[in-house]
Structures are given as structure tokens and as C-alpha cells.
Structure 1
Amino acid sequence: MRFLVTAVIVLAVSQAHAGELPCTPVKKGVIQLDGLLGEWHGVTPARASGSAMVVSGRGGWNGDGDLSFTVRCNLTRDTMYIAINVKDDYFVRANKLSASDHARLHFGGRTLYVYPGDLRRSRAVVSWNARGKRRARGVKIAESMQKRGWSVEIALPLRKLPGFRAGSPSMRASVSVADTDHPSAKKPQHVMRAPFSRISFAQQRANLLAFLKDKGFRASQIRFKRNANVVGDRRLEQVLLVGRTIGIVGDGLPGGGYFYLNLPVSSGRDVRWIKLVDLNGDGLQEILVQLVERASNGRRELVAIYRYNDSNQFVRPMQVEVLKAQGSRYIKNRFRMLRRRKRKRGQKRRGYDLWFDKPKAGGFDQSSYREAPASDAFPILLPWGETKKRGFRFEGEEFSQL
């Protein structure tokens, strides 16, 4: 049930969504930080050109030769590399630093300002503010003057990159370039922004495409998709519901790639809902689903919990009946998740307790309801039964009744 994704990176890049810059994985040492961009051939770029992409100073912009650029992205295990190649008729380091030619890299809610040096008098400045006062520690760059412009390579440590989360299929990011033609300028004459608002990670997309292909699904059939830590290695996985299949996609799985499990129902319409909830308060999210099981003499609905255990397996530690029905007659229970009042020592946050109560009957009474209690699940609470309320609390891999 686990698969290794090996040969769909190119397909993943080619199918990157509009508005996204694909970031492809490379081995450490492939990118030589020299500003020359020779090793970037074949990497899919985002191109900023045309007046529609000039976000400031459009009236004085004199075509792509005045200002246009491409952006490329590569990723190693611990570093993101960005290459920007700028067409510009003049490279200017203005008297006022913030008015100089420079690139702006927007990650999450922060902006990294990259002021290339001219390789003669002016040194490069990399800062988290426009005036160069907050130097970006750990960020490395290399610039190069081109015949018709300039280029810069930027190495960004992932552990310090705002908005990055290992395992996430994408992150919010954009790049713009500011152009100045006069050293005495007080601000840039033009600013152009690249046509993307997110960086997508090709390996995560490749894992997703491989899962869909293996199961014969289309992307349009995905009913639920959310990023969450369900394995417990601090990286995010993509949790999907397609039909009656739950897919777990991410590099954090043993063997890498993806894992799937088929829910014990006839079709996707019998999956009422799926939720990801940190029941323990340990940062690891469990998968909760409400399922419909059908038989010739009626149906029942259950809330089932799936979690990743210490043996590297997804298991179902428990399931609880919430509805039993025959035709229009039914018995149902209310299901709630209540946050715990206190956080346990060593836990990151408060977990949730699961409660089942308020049994209600429609068309059934004590004399007409003859169903035997379930043996494969906690049986439904009966309005005429002694127990009207049932609670559960998870502690690690075990649960207890409250």
C-alpha cells in the first residue's frame, strides 16, 4: 500500500497551475552560486514581460528592454535557490539604496530586498527591509553583470524562510524587480512583478499525480484536500478523499510517495464527512470519518478514527455507531468534539474529547427495536437504555472511556 514515486517530476512541472512558479528538486552541489545561471538551463521559468506586469511607473516604461525578467527555482533538502535574470538597459546603484536596481522576494508576510553589487565599487546588500538595516543572516547571493542587464542567484535556508513548511505542496511567494535609470533618483522608476503568487514544489505534486494515476482518479474527483501532519515527523502530508479512498501523500511516509486506504463502504457517497483533528494535543492529527454501511435490512452510520501508529501503519483504534435505520425508522445519537480544559504536561496544545449523547428514536420504541448490539463497534445509545452519554479520550495510541 506504499509506493515510491520515481519518474513523474517532469509531468508535475508541466502541469503546474497558472500563477505558480514550479520549484524542482536537485541534489546538493548542483547549483554553483556564481550568478552566471549556466546550470539553470532546462528549469521552467516564470516570465515577467509586457506592460500589464508593470505595477509602478508604467507610463515611463519603454518596453521589455527597459525592464523584464525571468525567475527560476530549485530546491535541495535544506535550501531554496532562486535565479533572477533581468533585462535592463542600465544597472544603477543609486545614492539612496532603496532607489537602486534591486529584486524583492515576497515570502508570506515578509519581503527580502536584494541589492546586487556592480562588482566594482558597490557591494551587494541583502536585507529584510528596504533601507538595508536588517541584514538577512544565512542568505547568500551571487550576482553577474550581463550584456543587457544583470542576474542574481539567491540561496535561502529553508529553516529561516518565512511561510515554508516541509511537505507542503506550495507556499505563498512572489518576486518583483525595481528599476532605476538615474543615480540621483529618490525612488525606482519602474517596478515589475512576476506572474505568480505561489511557489509549488514539484516533488509533492509528482507524489499527488502518481497517487491519482495509480488509483485511476482525476484531479477533479478530489472531494477533500488538506495539508496536515498525520505521520508525526514535523513535515506536512496532503490528505485526500477521492471516492471511498483516503490518500496520504508526502515524503514523510516510509518509502516516500504516498499511501492509501479504502474505506469499508460501497461508494464515495457513503462517506458523510472527513475531519482532521489533533485529539491528543501532540501536534499529530487523526483522521475522523463518518461512514454509512448498508445492508438489505437497513443501514447504520459510524464515526471512525484512523491514526498513524508507532509501527508505521494507519490503524482504526475505534468506531462508534451514531445511527441505525430501517426504512424511515431510526435511532440516532449526537456526536461532538469538545476541547479539553487543560493542556497536559509535554503537550503542544489541548486535545479534544469525543462525546456521543442525546439518543433519539423515530418510529422505533423499546418493544419494536430488536437489533442486537454491535460487536464490531461501540453500539448506538438507546433512548430507553441505562447509558445516555458516552465519552472517549485519546492518550497516545490508547483511548479510555470518560
Structure 2
Amino acid sequence: MAIAALASLALPAGAAAQAAGIRVVEVDSVRVDGSLGDWRGARFTPVGQGTDASMRFALGHDDEGLYVAAMVFDERLVRTSSPGAREDAVILTLSMPQRRGRRAVDLFLFAGVSGRGAASAGLGAFGRRPRPLSGVRIVEGPLRRGRGYVLEAFVPFSVLPGGERWEEARANIRYRDVDQEARPEVESEPALIDGVDARHLDRLVPLMATGGASGALGEFLNARGLGAARPSHDLRGDVAEDGRPERVFVVDRFLVITGPGYRGGSGYGYHQLPIEQASDVRDAELRDLTGDGQRELVIVLRQRNAQGERDLWQVMDLSGDSPRAIFGLEIRKAVTGSGSVEARVRVLRARRGAPEIEVRAHRASGLDAESYQEAPAADVEPILLPWGPIRARRYRWSGRGFEQTTEQANPRYRPPAPERATREAAPTEPAAPTEEQLLAAFRREARIRRGARPRFRMQANFAGDRAQETGLVYGRQLVIVGPGIQGGRSFLTYSIPAPTDDDLLDVSAADVTGDGRAELLFRVRQRFGEVEREVLAVHQVTERGFPRLLEVEVKRTQGDRVIENQVVARRGRLEIRPGRAVGWDASSWTFTRSEQDSAEPLLLPWQDRAVRYRLRGGRLAR
């Protein structure tokens, strides 16, 4: 069994907890017997100092509940027959998310005393007297050395308010020491985090669970060098069409999706959001907007360029292998140095089927019909302006996409006076922008310096008819322009999920599905300590996005040892061959595949054969 608390060589336990959270490690089986025999090798975190009124603790979890183990050092145990707030106790404070805000409770764990009462548990509002709590297994035992006792407990999630969302809890732990039975007063109360009271619940620190969804998140963050990042949103809902809830984390600039039914429970999915910083995620929630019983992600993003910024209300489908945007509305635009304009959006409930989405023009500040010179958005539904001809629009899912259902005219709209024409001229369609104009617009939005050269350049038929599109990569930012991208009037961009620019080793285009159109092949390096691997990611190009078809490991190195598979993409097919091994063979290869790894495994030359991939069900499969 492996269970651990905080690990920090340079920081006191409390400071380490504030920096890294309180670890709660997934366990296979623990017997609650007061001996801590199942906790061998566990790293216990100290609370307090000395041989009186201090303890060391560790936390664990399984699917049913929370485990607490504590070695308490106390020269005298004070207990009564009716446990309350004025006697010795280990107190775990938990702040659980509720529908509105959070609720903090104190979980009291009382050791038993022969002839006076068995070990027991109590639960109360934070800072209040506890009431007896049933359903908890708790046993005390002797310390091997010194005066005090061992306390071991199992607390079912079902007895904790909001326990179904325990992984989102924030916590603290302390030891309450009372040394006089006749006049019981709290003599000392060392805590992992000092200064936590009803006015400072923000000082509580998150529980950091290993295993399960939280473990997958931790693995992703560590792989990205974001180990200290915390989710801004932790959402739950059925997004994978399996009837079970998934976890959707919004953390830094990424979405991370995991759950028992997601990708067969064998890994996690992630998506880099088109934003510059974590604070650009303004809001996020899961809602069923297509009427199929599965939820979509509704997310509000703030995007910037040199001219100003905009807020984008976006609907994302999370059911496939790669999250994809299926609808978007501009709901705010700000022009640098001038002002801003806003629209409001709401979801209208439906008795049956998909709900309607209503967007309504709202207000402007510092801008009017004459001063506002922004071109309407081409990639999403453009913002409704207070002075424009349309006051409101409604949209509903049709089975293929979100389509407009109604439109409300703006009674205050005044069409601009027509300019006098010197001669009659037939109306002409505005000329489509050139590819160079579109690329210049992209470089401005992406803040790419003038004169910067792309790292990779491709010309291929990615989408639409047989005409070719152009693909360029600046750093890790891909842009595609051409006739198949919204009729040649806009560009598509994608942030390639590589840890750094240097870790994006190659970008190429090849038809690997046999449909006559090219797919994108990204080769990305990932580092795990002294081990490096290269992953091949294959993405399709559509008018609206870049759905992922495959992710597979094709190379691994450790020192001078190497295994590199051979990738062959030609004639509408993708084949991966085992290739060669240097320094490794069947006896020296000790790696096992993590269940959280979303990439297909590396082919091993001594046991695997070449694999051909074909498009099946929206994925490249063997």
C-alpha cells in the first residue's frame, strides 16, 4: 500500500501544504485496526512539535471514502463519555463546494479510553460543537514509542456534506489538546495551517488526490511543467455518451477531460484554449444544449490583439477524441483607446428537445454608430450592436449545427443616409482578402513580430474542393488559409500542444485517410525526468477546427538507449513499423504503460509487428 502526505525538503509542513496542497493518495485496501500496519512506507506530515500536543498524519482514499491515520504525541489523554468540543481530538476541517459557494465543517476524531468509551467521530459546522457521527470506522491503538496513541479512521464520503465532490475540497488539520478534566480548557491547538478562522477560510488548502481524475490532472500538469497550477473550474457531467459523469478541468490555458467512461477509462484528453493567459477564461459550465442528454461545455473566453479585445461565448462538444467548438457568439468587443460594446446571452429552457440560445444587443460605452468601425466577425456569430438593425436572435441545435430560429428587429435602428452617387453602378461583391492579407491579420492577432519567418510551411488540399491551402507554423501556432477555409475569407489557427517551441520537432501534411485531403502530422517531444519520448499526433482539418484522429508514441530515449519506430505515410495510409532498438532488449525493457497515457504505446522491435491505421468512427484505428 502506498499513501503519502506532503513532501518538502526546504519548507515547513504548513508552508509546503500552502504551496502544494494536502496529498491524499489512492489506496487498495486498508484495515482500520489501530495498528497502522497497512501504512508502512507512508510519509506522515508533522503538526506541532515536541512530545506533548503534536502529531503526524497521512490521508488516503478509495472509491467509498477517506482514510485518516495519525500518530498523536500527548502526555495525557482527556476524554469524557459524551465527546464534545473540550477534549482531546484530531480535527479535520473540510470546505466542500455546494450549489452556491462552499460549506465548511469540522470532522472530530476522538480516541477511545478503556472504561469510558470507544473511539468515535463527530461532525459540526466550522468552529461549532460537534454532534455524534455514525457510519465512521475508527480505532485507536498504542504508540510504539513515547506517550500518546495511534488513531485510524475511515470516513465514508456519504456522511460528509458535499462528499460526492470531495476532490474539490479545501482543508486543514489540527490537534486539540485539553489537559484538565475537572476544568477542561483548550491548552494548545497546533495546526497544519495557522490563522484559519471563519473570516479566513481562504487560507484552507486544496486536497490533492492521486489516482482517478485528480491523478490524471496531476500527471498532465507535471508533464506540462505546470505542477503548481490549480483548476479555475472543476466541472462534472456526462460528456462522453456513457451515462457516467466525467470531470472537466479548466486549468491554466487548457481543458483536461477524464473519467471512467472517457476513452474507455484509459486516459485523459486535453485541449489548448485560444487565449493568452489563464485569467482569459471568464466563465465555464456544462449544459445540454443539443437535447441528447449529454452536456456540452459553455465557456467564455477573452481574446486580444493590437486593436482591442473581445469576449467569445463558445459551445464545445467534448464527446469525441478531441474537443471541438460547434458554436460561438461575440458578446463583447473593446476597441483600444475608444470604448466597448456588449451583448447578453441566455439559454431558454425547453420542455423537450434542445433549448434555444438567445443573444440580445445590450449597451455601448464610448462608442456609437459613427465611431464604431470594426468589421463583423467571420469565425463566429458577430456581436449585435445597440444601434444595429437586429435587437435579438435565437438559435437552436438542428442535428447538424446551431441554426437561427427567430430574429427581432431593433425599433431604434436608423439606416444611414445614402451617399449621393455621381453615376449608377451595379452592386459588386466585396473582393475576398488575399492569402497574404489573411496571414497579416493572423500575425497581428497572434502578436507575431513583423518579419518573423515560419518554422514550417505546407501547401496541400486540407479542406473543401481540390484547391490547395497554405499552412504555416510560427513557434507552436499553426495557421491555415485558402479556398477551403470559410470560402477563402478567413483563417484557421491552432495552438499545437507542445511543452515549448523546441519540443515541436516536425509538422508535415499527408493524406492518411484515403479521402484525397491531407491531414496534419505533428511530432512532439515530451520529457519525464531522464526519459524523453516523441509522440506523433494526427489531426484532420475542417472548416471549423482540427479534430484529432490519432496520438501514438514513436520514439523513446534514455541516455544512449533508443527505440525509434518508422512512420510511413503514403497512398492514403499510415503505417508504423517497429524500427530499431539500441541498448534495450526484452530483458532490459522495464517500462509499463500508464493507464492515464492518452497516446498509443511504442512498438517494441522484439515483440511487435508493423501496424496499419485506417479511419473508423472518426479515428485512425488499427
| TM-score, normalisation: structure 1 | 0.68
The gaps in structure 2 that reach 5 residues or longer are 9-15, 96-103, 194-203, 407-622
1:297-356 residue CA offsets vs partner (Å, 9 max, x unmatched)? x9996735233455575332212456899x99x99963312364xx65699xxx894415
Alignment-derived partner of residue 238 in structure 1: 249
| Distance in 2 (alpha carbons) for counterparts of 1:200 and 1:224 | 11
Q: 1:288 aligns with which of 291, 294, 299?
A: 299
Q: State how far apart, in whole Å, the 2-side matches of 1:151 and 1:24 are.
A: 20
Decide whether the 8 Å contact of 1:236 with 1:250 is kept in 2: yes
Any residues of structure 2 matched to 1:142-161 within 5 Å, and which?
142-146=139-143, 147-161=146-160
Counterpart of 2:233 in structure 1 is: 226
Tell me the equivalent position of 2:568.
none
Residue 61 of structure 1 is matched in structure 2 by none
TM-score under structure 2 normalisation? Answer: 0.47
> Equivalents in 2 of 1:400, 1:238: separation in Å?
29
Deviation, 1:127, is 2.7
Q: For structure 1, which runs of at least 5 residues remain unmatched after alignment?
A: 1-8, 51-63
Aligned partners of 1:313 and 1:322: how far apart in 2?
25
Offset at residue 142 of structure 1 (A): 1.2
- Highest Rg: 1 or 2? 2
Tell me by how many angstroms 1:247 deviates. Answer: 2.4
- Specify the alignment match of 1:122 in structure 2: 117
Write the letter of the residue equivalent to 1:389: A
Q: Does 1:318 align with 2:327?
A: yes
Query: Does the 8 Å contact 1:279/1:353 carry over to 2?
Result: no
User: What CA RMSD, in Å, does the superposition of the two structures yield over aligned residues?
Assistant: 4.8
Conservation of the 8 A alpha-carbon contact between 1:332 and 1:361: no
Cross-structure match for 1:211: 220
Within a 5 Å distance, the mapping from 1:3-402 to structure 2 comes to 17-18=18-19, 20-27=21-28, 29=29, 31-50=30-49, 64-94=50-80, 97-98=83-84, 99-108=86-95, 109-120=104-115, 122-128=117-123, 134-146=131-143, 147-166=146-165, 168=167, 170-182=168-180, 184-196=181-193, 197-198=204-205, 199-203=207-211, 206-214=215-223, 216-218=224-226, 225-229=232-236, 231-232=238-239, 233-234=244-245, 236-242=247-253, 246-251=254-259, 253-254=262-263, 255=265, 257-263=267-273, 268=276, 273-280=281-288, 284=295, 286-290=297-301, 303=312, 305-310=314-319, 314-320=323-329, 334-338=342-346, 340=348, 353-357=357-361, 361-362=369-370, 374=378, 377-378=380-381, 387-392=390-395, 399=402, 401=404, 402=406
Q: Contact (CA 8 Å) 1:178, 1:191: kept in 2 or not?
A: yes
Residues 223/287 of structure 1: CA separation in 2 closer, same or farther (3 Å cut): farther
Shift of 1:152: 1.0
Structure-2 separation of matches of 1:321 and 1:70: 53
Deviates further, 135-144 or 86-95? 86-95
Partner SS, residue 275 of structure 1 = strand
Report if aligned partners of 2:303, 2:312 keep a CA contact under 8 Å in 1: no
**Equivalent residues of 2:47, 2:190 under 8 A apart:** yes
Change (3 A) 1:393 1:194: farther
- Asked whether the 8 Å contact 1:166–1:235 carries over to 2, the reply is no
Going from structure 1 to structure 2, the CA distance change for 1:337 and 1:143 (only over 3 Å counts) comes to same
Letter in 2 for 1:225: S
Counterpart of 2:446 in structure 1 is: none
Percent identical pairs in the alignment equals 22
1:97-125 Cα distance to aligned partner (Å, 9 max, x none): 43443333323322233322224553233
Distance 2:88 2:233 in 1: 40
Q: Which has the higher contact order (CA 8 A, sep 6+)?
A: 1
Local SS of the residue matching 2:173? strand
Report the Cα distance in structure 2 between the residues aligned to 1:331 and 1:188, rounded to whole angstroms: 61
Asked whether the 8 Å contact 1:46–1:194 carries over to 2, the reply is: no
The 1-side partners of 2:328 and 2:128 are apart by 59
Q: Distance in 1 between matches of 2:277 and 2:380?
A: 21
Change (3 A) 1:315 1:11: farther
Cα deviation code 1:335-388 (max 9, x no counterpart): 312364xx65699xxx894415369655678xxx9x8994x5435658997544
- Report which stretch shifted further, 188-197 or 151-160: 188-197
* SS of the residue 2:221 aligns to: helix
SS at match of 2:51: coil
Alignment length, in residue pairs? 357
- Please give the secondary structure, in 1, of the residue aligned with 2:52: coil
For residue 238 of structure 1, report the CA deviation from its aligned partner.
2.0
Distance 1:91 1:65 in 2: 13
Q: What is the one-letter code of the residue matched to 2:171?
A: A
Q: Is residue 353–residue 394 contact of structure 1 (8 Å, CA) maintained in 2?
A: no
AA at the equivalent of 1:101: D
Is the Cα–Cα contact under 8 Å of residues 303 and 322 in structure 1 kept in the other structure?
A: yes
- Identify if the C-alpha distance between structure 1 residues 95 and 224 changes in structure 2 by more than 3 Å, giving closer, same or farther: closer
SS in 1 for 2:117: coil
Alignment-mate amino acid for residue 21 of structure 2: E
